[in-house]
Structure 1
Amino acid sequence: MRVVALGWAVAVGLAAAPALQAQTYPSKPIKIIVAYPAGQGTDIATRYLADQISRDLGQPIVIDNRPGAGGNVGTDATAKAHPDGYTLTMGTNATHVLNEFLYSKIPFNAGNDFEPVVMVGTFPMVLAVVGSSPLTSARQLVDTVRTTPRGADIALPSTSARLVVELLKERSAVALFGVPYKGSGTAVTDLIGGQLTAIVDTPTSLRPHLQAGKLRALAVTSLQPSALVPGVPAIAEQGYPGFDVIAWNALYAPKGTPAPIIHTLNAAFNKALQRPETRQRLLELGFEPAGGTPEWLAGFGKTERKKWQVVIATAGLKAD
């Protein structure tokens, strides 16, 4: 009888542990794994938010950069971490959607191995041409390419840029050829030098060239115009309704992290994202501030995976 009672007491104690842990959370430093190098956009935005939120939560937030394999190395480290709220990751559309379909094998399941916490920020890509080009819209670009036998070469400094071109190629049925680059610098140089027709890149990367008049933005790839590139229409407004490609950053925890901890983190990030100074700084860094519930982020992720699985499979894209 004593054995049964002891066993029951242990079971109750184990069951109560997560609840007790959630009540005292956070009681030590929190680590956010960024699956990209220090100084990259996701890293800079994460460090800025971590500094603000650490003050609200009363604990330091440490950034742990673990780049490699398109973000898979750092993301896998979070998937295998103890689900206690002290190891998180700043996920992206690459790590939590695209890589699942671009890589033949990855060591985690983006849809099942994480608890969504909050959408942090989004940004569109920008379709741009050299400043001296007569083209002023994405529709003009497509119409011009349609009458050009050799098609058009488009610089692609990222996976997101590649998807923009593949989707536009599918929707317009014209010959667009993506030319991969490892960064924006050489791509912009080649575009200005006349070796390319256009480029698809982030607002942050292209902003100085647009402001200097070296490049001209034809369109943004979000469903609506973006505050990050004022005055530039969306591709969806230029004859391709529903065209929507955005990159994003969202916070995730390992699967099994207690719901009260998820809600504590969600509330802290939403509070920070609603501050005018935070929103302004994120816009300067190239992100449109987001926010919202864990449930919304979970549904968004499912929609994104369904959408891009089809596009990537149709185009036969592979990262390895």
Structure 2
Amino acid sequence: MTPNTSTRRHHLRKLALGLLAACGLGGAWAQGSYPERTIRIVTPYAPGSMVDATTRLVADGLSKRLGQPVMVENRTGGMGMIAMNALLSAPADGYTLLTDTPASAINPTLHKEQARYNPKTDVAPIAQFMRLPFVLAVHPDVSAGTAKELVSLLKQPGSQWNAAGAGTSTGLVTDLFAIQAGVQLPQVPYRGAAPAILAALKGEAPVIFLDSANLAPHIQSGKLKGLLVTSDARQDTLPSVPTSAEAGFGNFKPVTWFGIFARSGVPPHILKQLNEAVREVMQSSQTREYLKARGATSSDMGLDEFRSFFHAEIDMWADVIRKAQIKQ
């Protein structure tokens, strides 16, 4: 082979690869290499929490489907910003991911000084794991037997009913209900779900909005009265509690959810691959049974659907924060 022949073949090969790339085939060839090493999922929630447990269940399923280890790293504190910063400071290659809740959509509006990121441009939503409805419950001493009756009580002159607050998300759910119902519902803040539930059980703050997994046992035992649940259908764990629509509050549909994110800039084919893998995990019988036992349902949102959902969450909670005049 002459040097000129070798050179010509080299140029022809480069030209062919360029044409393949232009047609999208070369990109497809290059896309088959992800993942080549361990994937890390950071989460701002503590070991043993439901977010942590669900993340580990998903990580195990992803590892089996992707053929690489998927490790979970708990980075708690800083109102979720320690974990978020770990994501935003990592390369945009799909090897560092984040699991989070509605807090990821809320924090940049509510905590502007600490959460200095734009949730619509700095993070890339990949997939939603699950959805868990909220429940409105009251202490048995509250005379209201329905959500409508509770609103009537709250509108009476001199109403002194308070709600137990269990964190940012549940506090905003309370604010959203008060705004839509046209009532005042002061909140007493507590350090988490357990002390908030205890306050409701004691009647110290007799109204509470919390996820169904936390409240179901107390409603089942009769220690609290469930007035509505924000799911489309009644919950198997709370068959006597009406949905928001049945209770006359069809526009009140907030849910808590867990989702997985990348930082912006991760190639679209990697986001799509991860979305499809997560959806496979969430539709497995093992995962569905795990969630059902906790009053949750698995999610099957596509990539674009979850992005639209996440952006709508950002806008909705920003509007609640503005209307309720909540300060940082």
User: Which TM-score band applies after superposition, normalised by the shorter structure?
Assistant: 0.7 to 0.9
| 1:98 alignment counterpart | 106
Superposed, 1:279-318 pairs within 5 Å as 279-318=288-327
Render the CA deviation track for 1:256-276: whole Å, top value 9, x for unaligned: 111221121111111111222
Asked if the contact 1:151/1:174 (under 8 Å) is kept, the reply is: no
List gaps (5 residues or longer) in structure 2. Answer: 1-6
| 2:3 alignment counterpart | none
Cα gap change, 1:17 to 1:47, in 2 (>3 Å): farther
| 2:62 alignment counterpart | 53
Distance 1:143 1:224 in 2: 25
Render the CA deviation track for 1:104-150: whole Å, top value 9, x for unaligned: 23232211112221111111211111245543221111112222513
SS of 2:275's partner is helix
| 1:142 alignment counterpart | 151
**Letter matched to residue 58 of structure 1:** G
Distance 1:110 1:191 in 2: 34
Asked if the contact 1:85/1:257 (under 8 Å) is kept, the reply is: yes
Render the CA deviation track for 1:280-304: whole Å, top value 9, x for unaligned: 1122244321022111111112222
Distance 1:101 1:222 in 2: 26
SS of 2:61's partner is helix
| 1:270 alignment counterpart | 279
| 2:246 alignment counterpart | 237
| 2:264 alignment counterpart | 255
**Letter matched to residue 170 of structure 1:** I
| 2:4 alignment counterpart | none
Asked if the contact 1:89/1:253 (under 8 Å) is kept, the reply is: yes
When normalised by structure 2's length, the TM-score is 0.86
SS of 1:237's partner is coil
SS of 1:135's partner is coil
| 1:182 alignment counterpart | 191
2:43 aligned with 1:34, yes or no?
yes
2:105 aligned with 1:83, yes or no?
no
**Letter matched to residue 53 of structure 1:** L
**Letter matched to residue 265 of structure 1:** L
Pairs aligned (count): 310
When normalised by structure 1's length, the TM-score is 0.88
Range moving further from structure 2, 297-306 or 126-135? 126-135
| 2:139 alignment counterpart | 130
1:20 CA displacement? 6.0
Superposed, 1:109-120 pairs within 5 Å as 109-120=118-129
| 1:192 alignment counterpart | 201
1:237 CA displacement? 3.1
**Letter matched to residue 170 of structure 2:** A
Asked if the contact 2:133/2:211 (under 8 Å) is kept, the reply is: yes
1:26 CA displacement? 1.6
Asked if the contact 2:236/2:295 (under 8 Å) is kept, the reply is: no
Asked if the contact 1:32/1:87 (under 8 Å) is kept, the reply is: yes
Distance 1:98 1:222 in 2: 21
Cα gap change, 1:63 to 1:18, in 2 (>3 Å): farther
SS of 2:162's partner is strand
2:173 aligned with 1:168, yes or no?
no
